[in-house]
Structure 1
Amino acid sequence: MTQYLFFTGKGGVGKTSLACATAVAMADAGQKVLLVSTDPASNLKDVLESDVTERITAVAGIQQLYAININPEYAAEDYRNRVIAPLEGIATAEELKKIREDLSGACTTEIASFDEFSRFVSGEAEEGAFDVIIFDTAPTGHTLRLLELPAAWSSFTEENPEGASCLGPTSALKSSKERYHTVVERLRDPSCTTFYIVSRADKASLKEASRTSDEIRALGMTHQYLYINGVFKALSSEDVLAQKIEKLSREQLEALPANLKLLESKEFPLLPYNVLGIEKLRSLFDETLQKSIAETVAIAQREASPLQLENIVQLTESLSAHQQHGLIMTMGKGGVGKTLAASAIAVLLAKKGFEVLLTTTDPAAHVQDFIDQLGALPPTLTVERIDPKIETQRYTEKIVNQKGKDLDEEGKKLMLEDLKSPCTEEVAVFHAFSKAISKARKKFVVMDTAPTGHTLLLLDTAGSYHRDIMRNMLNADRVKTPYMFLQDPELSKIILVSLPETTPMREAASLQNDLKRAGIQPYAWLINQSLSMVPDITDPLLKSRAHAETEVIRTIQSEHAQRTYGIPFIAEKELLLELLKQHE
């Protein structure tokens, strides 16, 4: 077992549960373990049932286990203070204020989070020696970006020694250069670091796991294992849905991508209970304990009518009842079904004759996988993708053409070096995001967003841009920034997507609170893959999970959502096609 363990994969596959279960197992074996979350939308507190803060804290109920959340906002404020400290007494109060405002963007938050993360790998942040440090990482695209930053910043500090960016003076980063090299070396050393790629037995998450494996291998990180989580085994031969789910899982596992077949792997079963708390975490690696806990879980023996929720067609009709255009954004925790929801809403709107643009800000970009199921697109539907690399290239070319035409060759060279900064990508993606929003003045723009943490960073950029415009423009009252567009309930409709489970519900509720603080009121909640909406379930495991869902959904309806809609559990390969068929 190596000292550093990373759990990564598509959102919603169970990275946190498996990371926590591994941490508990190692602490039980006598190791001193530190569990670190680098996810801006961390739910360690829920899973461990213990207080977890931005400081290293002992986990309640178990010896030798400690945990910490890398809080992006806390890390960013600490970073700003470190950058500004050497300038105090030299710069004026107005200059220091301007620097602090410049350091308020999303890319500052990201590099600050990475800066904290890197200290744990380099050994600088350990308050007491730990035998093992386990990282519960953010969803895949964000994690890969974190892993690429050391090399990118090392290159930037070497090639642009006098430059500056939204992260402040490059000189402020130089002190971290040696640490970044140490981090990269340790991540690439198979005797130091192990990557656990977590997936479900479904096509989308296996495809993401395959891409993750290739990309971190390309970064020189080769010590990898595959964990397949939530594998379902039917308990009833009479239950048609149960048999379909098991058959589909087996087919997906038999068609495992070639690169994943090379990895040592382990399967974990779908359980009739939520894995929350130390004892249930222990059960993930203990089949006897699984059976014992399952026996104490109340299996729903009584017959109950399926839960009645308005469906996605009724949601689409509500969205288009009083307008011909606008922005519709699906948001939520990774893996809850945002892409399916966005694709279905876009197709249903287009079938009603509206002009529709379907786009995504998710680096993993699964929209095309769903759209490919349709064969032919409705004539009024256009599909695009905000690709970070393409948008960065476009933005770089635009800046060079606009600002480089009067520069000499040396000046152009310095400008290109400055544009190699990782924060250029954040700015480029924000420009594309803003452009897509502007199109919503004339048509429906349906936007499938990246998992929660990345989405909040993007909205933070919108807020920073808005404040900058308001501060610097003479006629700011005549300008409608992307942020103002998002705050306008007539123009923008936010759909919070959740699974009917406690952790995704809490995550969506937390996101809703963040949005409300930013003056953005979500329009509706959409509950995806609900077993409680499916009639005639007889399999005991599925009945137990369906029964547990009803309490979660009622909590959403009574405490969180103005409007609640649902998508029933679908056990088919082509989810979008089947969902649309159900409503033809």
Structure 2
Amino acid sequence: MRFLDQPPRYLFFTGKGGVGKTSLACATAIRLAGLGRKVLLVSTDPASNVAQVFEQEIGNRVTPIEAVAGLFALEIDPQAAAQAYRDRIVGPVRGVLPDDVVRGIEEQLSGACTTEIAAFDEFTGLLTDSQLTDGFEHVVFDTAPTGHTIRLLQLPAAWSGFLANNAEGASCLGPLAGLQKQREQYSAAVAALADAARTRLVLVARAQASTLREVARTHAELAAIGLSRQFLVINGVLSDDDAARADGLAAAVLRRERDALAALPEPLRGLPTDYVPLMPFNLVGLAALRSLLGTAGAQPCDSPDDERAPAVHGLPNLAGLVDGIAADGHGLVMLMGKGGVGKTTLAAAIAVELAHRGFPVHLTTSDPAAHLAETLEGSLGNLTVSRIDPQVETERYRRHVLETSGKDLDAHGRAMLEEDLRSPCTEEIAVFQAFSRVIREAGNRFVVMDTAPTGHTLLLLDATGAYHKEIARHMDKSGITHFTTPMMQLQDPQQTKVLIVTLAETTPVLEAASLQADLRRAGIEPWAWVINNSLAAARTDAPVLHRRAAQEWPQIEIVRERHARRVALVPVQADEPVGVARLLALAAGGANGQTSKEGIDVGSV
């Protein structure tokens, strides 16, 4: 593997959700530890699953991996990082400053932006503070999905400019006067990432056209901030052999992958590139991880148990869920889940099917790495499509504030307001306002939202919950008892249906269950689960795909029996579901899909 040749101290894996960054990062860390080196594996993903991969508890502390000598791991916990950050900022002034001033600082530190900044603060510390990583020969970073990572990496420049011009102000970072040290730390972190002698950036992708286009955008965005020395790993490539070519589904997958690689975006063609084959087993556990990079043989795997097939094939397809959604005539439909599970495709299929049935539909996304237009490849009557673009919404919000709050200010006051609006925290407010506007539309039409990967979505919901508490507090003081906030609408099952999307694999199911628990703590009850891209629901005799299908049965049963009141099973499609016609076929159970139109409840949880 070229990306493993003479590796520097820091290895940084990034890419779209679901492409295998965690598996490759873990396998790399194991390989380096096997060479006798002391290695620290760090996850910066808000929805980290490193603990599940190694089958042991890790958490927000440096923890030895029990089965691998010399390997340690750390999962940066955004919430724990935010609380530690708040304690560090507020602690020294509590009891010194007036209570109302302290409360004001705490309010500024309560938003989702502070959570993100605090986690980034820990990440940059690992890159720049030698004491934190003292004794480790290699530090391997498993990052959050692409959009989240790029946003974090752009923060040093954004905050540097803001701190330089607004040192007397305050923000979600706290009082800015004492933050010059962090400004220097953030700049030093980007310098470390840009130094090829210290850091290797590994872009991870799959042999899929949309994924390769996205990783090309990532390449350009990283290069724009000086991180131009990159490696490319194309993961999960199906082996081209006689057995695969003789199977209808496998042959279609081979053809799609070949076409995608032949059309590799030009910016990626000059990168050192490795290809990692699709494994016939889930990449959980030490033996599987060692197999990924060829240091051990493939794991044995049982053949599918045909007696278990009827129970799985009895599950409804996506059409059964659409029938239930359509019955209400309008409402908000939110698809949530881990990156890479197919939320965008399923959101587009549901929206297209509802529009095809004559309902007015607004399909939108809050995903920074959105590719709805590429999935639709066309238009349809009754369907409008939008994206909550952070940059566009931030600029809209800035203009609105300047035209309203700033219209009567003198030159000095307006200049101070403009400086304050350059804060990256402004983006959080702007995106939340756009999200709230979209929610309101669901009162007279269907709004189908393709959300960002799990961790990012929870940050957005956190902002929604904070807004709800603030409004409720003001209304209570005013004596107003009847009001509606976005959070109240999300909590109302008559107005909002949350669909959790997963794959029939161990880690995605665990993460989906964790997401469901978080939503329930926020008073939001998921309406249904969708198990996407199922090989068990398709027909294949290709050995690798057949063996992977065998491992889906237990996960499908876990979803049915433990987690989901209502569930749909969507098979892998022979043809990539791009374009209105194929999306309609997917929603209606076409292609490899089943034909059942009956939505079924599978028991309460």
Smaller-chain TM-score range?
Answer: over 0.9
Aligned residue for 1:405, secondary structure, equals coil
In 2: Cα distance, 1:200 partner to 1:424 partner: 34
- After the TM superposition, which of the residue ranges 495-504 and 475-484 deviates more from structure 2? 475-484
**1:258 paired residue number:** 266
8 Å Cα contact 2:530-2:567 kept in structure 1:
yes
Say if 2:371 is the partner of 1:366.
yes
Q: 2:585 aligns with which of 572, 576, 581?
A: 581
Q: Which amino acid aligns with 2:495?
A: L
- After the TM superposition, which of the residue ranges 558-567 and 79-88 deviates more from structure 2? 79-88
**1:328 paired residue number:** 333
Aligned residue for 1:199, secondary structure, equals strand
1:337-377 Cα deviation digits (max 9, x unpaired): 101111111111111111111000001111111111xx331
Cα displacement (A) at 1:579: 4.2
**1:453 paired residue number:** 455
Q: Which amino acid aligns with 2:42?
A: V
8 Å Cα contact 1:469-1:476 kept in structure 2:
no
**1:572 paired residue number:** 575
Cα displacement (A) at 1:580: 1.8
Q: Which amino acid aligns with 1:433?
A: F
- After the TM superposition, which of the residue ranges 476-485 and 334-343 deviates more from structure 2? 476-485
1:458-481 Cα deviation digits (max 9, x unpaired): 000001111111122325532211
Cα displacement (A) at 1:92: 3.1
> Which runs of 5 or more residues in structure 1 are unaligned?
none
Aligned residue for 1:508, secondary structure, equals helix
Change (3 A) 1:125 1:116: farther
8 Å Cα contact 2:345-2:577 kept in structure 1:
no
In 1: Cα distance, 2:59 partner to 2:131 partner: 15
Q: 2:345 aligns with which of 340, 349, 353?
A: 340
Cα displacement (A) at 1:301: 7.8
- After the TM superposition, which of the residue ranges 162-171 and 437-446 deviates more from structure 2? 162-171
Q: 1:384 aligns with which of 376, 379, 386?
A: 386
**1:493 paired residue number:** 497
Q: How does 1:162-311 map to 2 (within 5 A)?
A: 162-233=168-239, 234=241, 235-286=243-294, 289-291=296-298, 293=299, 296-300=300-304, 307-311=313-317
Q: How does 1:331-480 map to 2 (within 5 A)?
A: 331-372=336-377, 375-377=378-380, 379-473=381-475, 474-480=478-484
Cα displacement (A) at 1:302: 5.6
**1:110 paired residue number:** 116
Q: Which amino acid aligns with 2:164?
A: E
Following TM superposition, where does structure 1 have runs of at least 4 consecutive aligned residues deviating by more than 4 angstroms? 301-306
Cα displacement (A) at 1:142: 0.4
8 Å Cα contact 1:396-1:419 kept in structure 2:
yes
Q: 2:102 aligns with which of 81, 92, 96?
A: 96
**1:16 paired residue number:** 22
Say if 2:57 is the partner of 1:54.
no
Q: Which amino acid aligns with 1:413?
A: A
1:472-491 Cα deviation digits (max 9, x unpaired): 23255322111111111110
8 Å Cα contact 2:235-2:275 kept in structure 1:
yes
In 1: Cα distance, 2:564 partner to 2:34 partner: 41
8 Å Cα contact 1:346-1:381 kept in structure 2:
yes
TM-score, normalised with respect to structure 1: 0.96
- After the TM superposition, which of the residue ranges 434-443 and 177-186 deviates more from structure 2? 177-186
8 Å Cα contact 1:299-1:540 kept in structure 2:
no
8 Å Cα contact 1:3-1:192 kept in structure 2:
yes
Aligned residue for 1:384, secondary structure, equals strand
Q: Considering only aligned residues, what root-mean-square deviation do their CA atoms show, in Å? A: 1.6
**2:148 paired residue number:** 142
Cα displacement (A) at 1:311: 1.4
**1:484 paired residue number:** 488
Cα displacement (A) at 1:130: 1.2
**2:593 paired residue number:** none
**1:553 paired residue number:** 556
Change (3 A) 1:317 1:179: same
Aligned residue for 2:246, secondary structure, equals coil
In 1: Cα distance, 2:21 partner to 2:481 partner: 46
8 Å Cα contact 2:126-2:133 kept in structure 1:
no
In 1: Cα distance, 2:576 partner to 2:409 partner: 55
Aligned residue for 1:133, secondary structure, equals strand
**2:546 paired residue number:** 543
Aligned residue for 1:566, secondary structure, equals strand
Cα displacement (A) at 1:533: 1.1
Q: Which amino acid aligns with 1:427?
A: I
8 Å Cα contact 2:336-2:500 kept in structure 1:
yes
1:8-57 Cα deviation digits (max 9, x unpaired): 00000000000000111011111111111110000000112222110111
Q: How many residues align?
A: 575
In 2: Cα distance, 1:172 partner to 1:429 partner: 28
Q: How does 1:12-91 map to 2 (within 5 A)?
A: 12-91=18-97
Q: Which amino acid aligns with 2:274?
A: K
Change (3 A) 1:407 1:458: same
Cα displacement (A) at 1:126: 1.3
In 2: Cα distance, 1:476 partner to 1:425 partner: 30
In 2: Cα distance, 1:18 partner to 1:526 partner: 26
8 Å Cα contact 1:284-1:290 kept in structure 2:
no
> Which runs of 5 or more residues in structure 2 are unaligned?
1-6, 591-605
Aligned residue for 2:398, secondary structure, equals helix
8 Å Cα contact 2:332-2:497 kept in structure 1:
yes
In 2: Cα distance, 1:309 partner to 1:27 partner: 44
Q: Which amino acid aligns with 2:165?
A: E
8 Å Cα contact 1:391-1:429 kept in structure 2:
yes
Cα displacement (A) at 1:206: 0.8
In 2: Cα distance, 1:348 partner to 1:202 partner: 24
TM-score, normalised with respect to structure 2: 0.92
8 Å Cα contact 2:109-2:171 kept in structure 1:
no
8 Å Cα contact 1:51-1:59 kept in structure 2:
no
Change (3 A) 1:563 1:434: same
In 2: Cα distance, 1:26 partner to 1:81 partner: 37
Q: Percent identity?
A: 48
In 2: Cα distance, 1:48 partner to 1:65 partner: 11
Change (3 A) 1:302 1:467: closer
